[in-house]
Amino acid sequence: MKLHYSPTPEATNTLSTDDLRARFLIGDLFQPGAVNAHYTDLDRMIVGGAVPTTAPLPLPAAKETGTAFFLERREIGILNLGSNGTVRVSGANHELGPLDCLYVGLGEKDVTFASGAGGPAAFFFISAPAHAKHPTAVARRADVRTDPIGDAAKANRRRINKLIHPDGVKSCQLVMGFTEFEPGSVWNTMPPHTHSRRSEVYLYFDLGDNVVFHFMGQPAATRHLVVRDREAVLSPAWSIHCGAGTGAYRFVWAMAGDNQAFADMDAVSPAELR
């Protein structure tokens, strides 16, 4: 498991392009036949990917968690980005189709990933520390589609699909979902915001050959990352997070911190951006 430490806002302003990418971009999550995980200092979230091929893959134990097994003091949200697959939790199988999500709570010792007959599944997962147990639960993509928001004239017409949240699948502190765009819309989270009470992780997917320009940094000192398919961005609480793609895409968002209020954010006017 790789460790990620975030620089301060002042240090971030001095980083080269390569250093900025090394500190805030994760691009090696989905490797056939492997589980890859990155431990961050953003509310101690762990970001990972699992692509089972010929054999199931267990959620690994790691010394970085300081516990006997991965979920001893953690919870996890798992989103399937590939073909049909199965996540086995303490002897019970949970079938996940494309864009189905599974929440697994504190204390579940045995978690394994497997692909179905139609090709490899690709499981993206986010884990956060937990102090209370909530039951394992599935959020089906077909059950969580929401009405679109935004304005086509501003190229930000989109749907925000909330999967793990206070009014849906319950968790201790993790909040998770994904956003998808209508044809012709490419801007996400513009105008931007920060939320000093929570950290956030993005995973951009279904880009094809397109790229997303992900904007980050302090409002008066913005930076950007060029992001490709299935690459993740770490977003500290002090940083804005918004982006625009060269074509259609989706992105996963996941948060942990002081609360689970989706609307708890500090808006930043475009006039403040530099």
| More confident position, 262 or 151 | 151
Maximum Cα–Cα distance across the chain: 54
Percent of the chain surpassing pLDDT 70 = 100
Asked if residue 82 has pLDDT above 90, the reply is yes
Say which residue the tokens 């940083």 belong to.
Answer: 239
Task: Say which CATH topology domain 2-272 has.
Answer: Jelly Rolls (2.60.120)
Confidence label for 1 from pLDDT (cuts 50, 70 and 90): confident
Q: How many percent of the chain have pLDDT more than 90?
A: 83
Could you tell me the pTM of the whole model? 0.95
Q: Is 46 helix (H, G, I), strand (E, B) or coil?
A: strand
Q: pLDDT tens digits for 43-52? A: 999 999 999 9
Three-class DSSP category at 127: strand
Q: Is 274 helix (H, G, I), strand (E, B) or coil?
A: coil
CB 77 within 8 A of CB 14: no
259 pLDDT higher than 90: no
SS3 78: strand
Average per-residue pLDDT for the chain = 94
> Does 146 have pLDDT greater than 90?
no
Q: Which residues contact 19 (CB under 8 A, 6 or more apart)?
A: none
CA separation for the pair 181, 158 (Å, rounded):
4
Q: What mean pLDDT do residues 56-80 have?
A: 93
**Residues whose CB falls within 8 Å of the CB of residue 109, separated by 6 or more in sequence, listed in order:** 69, 71, 72, 90
Q: What is the pLDDT of residue 189?
A: 86
pLDDT, average across residues 179-195: 91
Burial class (CB in 10 A: 0-12, 13-18, 19+), 263: exposed
Average pLDDT over residues 58-79: 93
**Coil, strand or helix at 82:** coil
What mean pLDDT is predicted for residues 198-225?
Answer: 96
| Mean pLDDT of all residues in 25-39 | 96
Q: Using one digit for the tens of pLDDT, what is the confidence trace for 97-128?
A: 999 999 999 999 999 999 998 889 999 999 99
